[in-house]
């Protein structure tokens, strides 16, 4: 076999090898996907989506209990349902043996029915409100709480990308968020001070204008007084018809 033919054969074998490995990879991914679907069906998560929230408290409670089995993956969906329950006060629909509402507030409901602390439940709702579904599944809950302290959606999205790409720790995120919020406060203070200066300058100009007008008014009053005195001095005497003279 010539050298050229040998190189061609080697390249062909390499290509076949790569195609075979790719096929194995795809097959492995398909198998992994099948296993994941089977797991979701087994746990009951398969039919739980972000597009469909049950209207009754019983089904919502069941779904949240199911979603808790894979908490990190499902925090957003849990927060979505908790927010729906809180907003619509569905917890009052749970009736006790006396025919009365078993829970008078949201905190009691999450504590006894879901085994959540109220603070944890509100944190999940906050994550639902401040994030999209996708990043929540890949970023740890503790890190999401730190990132949620940034109000700007654009800055929050940038920090999410940075966290995923650079695998930032919670401590690193805390430093970044602290610096960001401190800088924001400084800029906000500068804006306020600038506004005060402008307002003070405006007040100064208005005061100065008013003083100048008062001065003009004084001059006008003097001229008016002189004119009136002059007119009065020439007023005819009603008794004899003669003019008054000084």
Structure tokens at 7: 């190189």
Does pLDDT of 245 surpass 50? no
Residue 156 lies in a domain: no
In a domain, 221, yes or no: no
Where is pLDDT greater, at 131 or 238? 131
Whole-prediction pTM = 0.56
**Minimal CA–CA distance to 151: which of 143, 140, 159?**
159
Q: Are 158 and 89 in contact (CB under 8 A)?
A: no
Does some domain include residue 119?
Answer: yes
Q: Which residue has the tokens 């469909």?
A: 52
Q: Is the pLDDT of residue 88 over 70?
A: yes
| HEC sequence for the chain | CCHHHHHHHHHHHHHHHHHHHHHHHHHHHHHHHHHHHHHHHHHCCCCCCCCCCCCCHHHHHHHHHHHHHHHHHHHHHHHHHHHHHHHHCHHHHCECCCCCECCCCHHHHHHHHCCCCHHHHHHHHHHHHHCCHHHHHHCCHHHHHHHCCCCCHHHHHHHHHHHHHHCCCHHHHHHHHHHHHHHHHHHHHHHHHHHHHHHHHHHHHHHHHHHHHHHHHHHHHHHHHHHHHHHHHCCECCCCCCECCC
Assigned domain for 76 exists: yes
Residue 87: give the domain boundaries: 44-130
In a domain, 81, yes or no: yes
What's the CA gap between 212 and 216, in Å, rounded? Answer: 6
pLDDT score recorded for residue 163? 87
The verdict on residue 109 lying in a domain is yes
- Per the listing, tokens 């002189």 go with 226
- Whether residue 107 is predicted with pLDDT greater than 90 in this model: the reply is yes
CA-to-CA separations, 238 to 119, 242, 246, in angstroms, rounded: 95, 8, 16
Domain assignment present for residue 85? The answer is: yes
Rounded to whole angstroms, the Cα distance separating 217 from 87 reads: 63
* Percent of the chain's residues with pLDDT above 70: 55
* Domains of the chain: total: 1
More confident residue, 75 or 8: 75
pLDDT band at 246 (very low <50, low <70, confident <90, very high): very low
- Whether residue 57 is predicted with pLDDT greater than 80 in this model: the reply is yes
Cα 84 to Cα 125: distance, rounded to the nearest angstrom: 9
């Amino acid at each position: 076999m010539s050298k050229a033919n040998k190189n061609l054969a080697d390249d062909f074998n390499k290509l076949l090898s790569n195609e075979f490995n790719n096929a194995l990879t795809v097959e492995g991914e398909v198998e992994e996907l099948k296993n994941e679907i089977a797991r979701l069906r087994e746990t009951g998560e398969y039919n739980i989506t972000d597009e469909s929230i049950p209207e009754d408290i019983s089904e919502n409670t069941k779904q949240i209990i199911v979603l808790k089995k894979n908490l990190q993956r499902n925090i957003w969906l849990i927060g979505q349902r908790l927010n729906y329950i809180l907003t619509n006060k569905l917890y009052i629909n749970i009736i006790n043996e006396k025919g009365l509402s078993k829970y008078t507030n949201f905190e009691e409901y999450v504590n006894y029915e879901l085994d959540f602390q109220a603070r944890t439940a509100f944190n999940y709702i906050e994550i639902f409100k401040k994030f999209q579904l996708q990043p929540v599944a890949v970023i740890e809950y503790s890190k999401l709480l730190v990132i949620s302290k940034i109000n700007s959606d654009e800055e929050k999205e940038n920090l999410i990308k940075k966290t995923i790409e650079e695998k930032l720790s919670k401590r690193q995120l805390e430093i970044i968020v602290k610096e960001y919020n401190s800088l924001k406060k400084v800029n906000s203070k500068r804006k306020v001070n600038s506004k005060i200066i402008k307002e003070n300058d405006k007040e100064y100009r208005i005061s100065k204008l008013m003083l100048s007008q008062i001065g003009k008014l004084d001059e006008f009053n003097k001229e008016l007084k002189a004119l009136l005195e002059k007119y009065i001095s020439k007023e005819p005497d009603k008794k004899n018809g003669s003019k008054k003279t000084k």
